[in-house]
Amino acid sequence: MSATEPPAVPPAAAGAAGPHGRLTHLDERGEARMVDVGAKPDTHRRAVASARITMRPETLAMIVEGRAPKGDVFATARIAGIMASKRTADLVPMCHPIALTHASVDLTAEEPDPTGDGLAAVRIVAVCETTGPTGVEMEALTAAAVAGLTLYDMCKAVDRGMVLGEVMLLEKEGGASGRWTREEER
């Protein structure tokens, strides 16, 4: 391939099964682009995402009892997640800047499962909403992930072994594709 010849469309783009039968963030030549949503109608959009961070039981007890050296872990993580949802377009290159009408982050302590690995966890659930031409899935995912990263940052001095994972979209509604829930895929 010469420097002036456009790259071939990647195989993943050619066979993607999106609503338009292709990856929407790639043009006909396989180059990244921001999707034009100018002609799409404004609809109410809502997305729910989650993440989970595992830790030692004593770390969770420190958080819940308010003994963390850096302060109120849940309050700080909640604020960080909400702030991150509003900055998603600054972090994820092809996201549109969105005027959110609602953003929330809830954190729930999960005690260790006696039959499991002995680790405690915090479940993070983020909800984002807007009325506009494009969805808020990335904003909800960003909120959940950054809340988890903030929780890690605030507690890393006492538990560097924490693991942030299971970042996933749980549901979305609005737009041409309507409602989707994770259970539908199973």
| pLDDT tens digits, one per residue of 87-134 | 999 999 888 899 999 999 999 999 998 888 899 999 999 999 999 888
In this structure, what DSSP letter does residue 3 have? T
What is the identity of the amino acid at 46?
R
* Same-domain check for residues 31 and 112: no
CATH number at residue 50: 3.30.70.640
Q: How far is CA 170 from CA 36, 38, 98, 180, in A?
A: 26, 27, 20, 8
Residue type, 70: K
pLDDT score, position 135: 85
pLDDT of residue 39: 67
How much of the chain, in percent, has pLDDT values that exceed 90? 65
Supply angle C-alpha 140, 103, 147, rounded to 5.
60
Inform me whether the pLDDT recorded for 47 exceeds 90.
Answer: yes
The pLDDT value given to residue 22: 55
Average pLDDT over residues 20-38: 64
Number of domains in the chain: 2
Are residue 19 and residue 100 in the same domain, yes or no?
A: no
Do 86 and 147 share a domain, yes or no?
Answer: yes
Query: pLDDT tens digits for 149-173?
Result: 999 999 999 999 999 999 999 999 9
- Looking at the fold, whether 26 and 100 belong to one and the same domain comes out as no
Same domain, 14 and 94: no
pTM over 0.85: no
| Co-location of 68 and 29 in the same domain | no
Q: pLDDT: is 20 or 24 the higher one?
A: 24
Catalytic residues: 153
From residue 114, how far is each of 55, 117, 184 by CA, in Å?
A: 15, 8, 30
User: Do 123 and 161 share a structural domain?
Assistant: yes
DSSP per position, 89-128? HHHSTTPPP---SEEEEEEEEEPPPTTTTS-EEEEEEEEE
CA atoms within 13 A on the CB side of 21: 1
Dihedral sign for Cα atoms in the order 7, 11, 12, 15: positive
Q: Tell me, yes or no, whether 31 and 48 share the same domain.
A: no
Find the domain containing 78 and state its range: 42-185
The closest of 27, 3, 1, 2 to 13, measured between CA atoms, is 27
